[in-house]
């Protein structure tokens, strides 16, 4: 089945399905076993959230989703490390980089209050906003993703019936959003005069200079980094992307390291009035190194 990005044809948000075959027949989610439909070349067009991994977290409009690989389907225990290059994980990373929408299907099971009582349910389109690696509850390396629901979509109908014709219990969802402090980012950029702390580049745009405020420990779940001076770097767009996607990290002495080769890029450019938190540096480094 070719990849289709976006809502499935003639399927409304909140539609229930008895099994994986029904999902496939309706062009909602093609694989009959895998939780991720995707490849690195095409991206991922759909995922199933069904409590298959202990380290998953479902907050409704925000999902922390563990990629595939290394999980024993019988015991639900992780028995091996996951790999960012595995086709489903690489597909979700491509969707993040290209901004492709991902269909989310929730399945019964697990401990999520947002899951259907039985079967599966199409719950709309989400965007992949972040990914990282970490050691999971069972001691193996995981690839995890943060997905956020697109706005201006229909909500799951509150009067929905389950697959046996019984009303689904109503649940009230509370959505929490963290607001970025623009003033704090401006202060960091002003201290460095819009010069990238990695390469020193000052981009000139329409006669002015441009830089980006990059959080070392990301805001939002599950990282919950603070919007404070000691957690923000002034970077050019290129090095901002590399920091966010694990292409570089910082050592404790503020040396910038290329994550792929382990080579030293150089010392981080600093300012006496801009202290960098060692705990945030170690947290970020722990997402991408063992």
Topology of domain 16-149, per CATH? PUA domain-like (2.30.280)
Per-residue pLDDT of the chain (290 residues; tens, 9 = 90+): 568 899 998 999 999 999 999 999 999 999 999 999 999 999 999 999 987 777 788 888 899 999 999 888 777 788 999 999 999 999 999 999 889 999 999 999 767 788 888 999 999 999 999 999 988 888 899 999 999 999 888 877 544 444 444 444 434 444 444 445 678 999 999 999 999 999 999 998 777 888 999 999 998 888 889 999 999 999 999 999 999 989 999 999 999 999 989 999 999 999 999 999 999 999 999 998 87
In the three-class reduction of DSSP (H, G, I as helix; E, B as strand; rest coil), residue 288 is classed as helix
Q: What is the pLDDT at residue 120?
A: 94
Per DSSP (E only), the strands in 1-154 are 16-17, 36-39, 43-49, 57-58, 62-66, 102-107, 120-135, 141-149
Q: What is the pLDDT at residue 2?
A: 67
Q: In whole angstroms, how far apart are CA 160 and each of 12, 96, 105, 241?
A: 12, 31, 15, 41
Of 156, 155, 165, nearest in space to 18 by CA: 165
- Maximal CA-CA distance, the chain: 66
Of 281, 282, 184, nearest in space to 234 by CA: 184
The full set of domain ranges for the chain reads 16-149, 182-288
Question: Are 9 and 48 a contacting pair, CB within 8 Å?
Answer: no
Cis? peptide before 16, omega within 30° of 0: no
Question: Are 63 and 147 a contacting pair, CB within 8 Å?
Answer: yes
**Tokens 């503020």 sit on residue:** 254
CA angle at 70 for the pair 39 and 5, rounded to the nearest 5°: 25
How many residues make up the chain in this entry?
A: 290
> Is this structure's pTM higher than 0.75?
no
Question: Are 181 and 227 a contacting pair, CB within 8 Å?
Answer: yes
């Amino acid at each position: 089945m070719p990849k289709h990005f976006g809502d499935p044809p003639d399927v409304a948000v909140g539609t229930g399905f008895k099994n994986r075959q029904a999902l496939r027949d309706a062009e909602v989610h093609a694989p009959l076993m895998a939780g991720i439909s995707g490849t690195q070349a095409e991206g991922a067009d759909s995922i199933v959230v069904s409590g298959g991994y202990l380290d998953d977290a479902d907050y409704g409009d925000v999902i922390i989703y563990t990629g595939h690989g290394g999980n024993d389907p019988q015991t639900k225990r992780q028995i091996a490390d996951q790999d960012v290059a595995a086709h489903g994980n690489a597909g979700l990373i491509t969707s993040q980089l290209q901004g492709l929408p991902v269909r989310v299907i929730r399945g019964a099971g697990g401990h999520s209050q947002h899951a259907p009582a039985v079967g599966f349910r199409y719950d709309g389109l989400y965007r992949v906003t972040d990914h990282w690696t970490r050691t999971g509850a069972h001691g193996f390396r995981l690839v995890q993703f943060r997905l956020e629901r697109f706005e201006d979509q229909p909500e799951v109908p509150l009067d929905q019936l389950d697959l046996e014709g019984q009303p689904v219990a109503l649940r009230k969802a509370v959505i929490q959003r963290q607001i970025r402090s623009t003033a704090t980012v401006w202060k960091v950029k002003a201290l460095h005069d819009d010069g990238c702390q990695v390469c020193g580049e000052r981009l000139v745009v329409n006669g002015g200079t441009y830089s980006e405020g990059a959080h070392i420990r990301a805001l939002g779940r599950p990282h919950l980094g603070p919007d404070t001076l000691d957690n923000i770097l002034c970077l050019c767009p290129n090095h901002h992307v590399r920091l966010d996607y694990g292409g570089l990290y910082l050592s404790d002495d503020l040396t910038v390291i290329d994550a792929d080769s382990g080579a030293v890029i150089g010392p981080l450019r600093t300012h006496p009035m801009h202290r960098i938190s060692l705990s945030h540096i170690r947290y970020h480094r722990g997402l991408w190194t063992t």
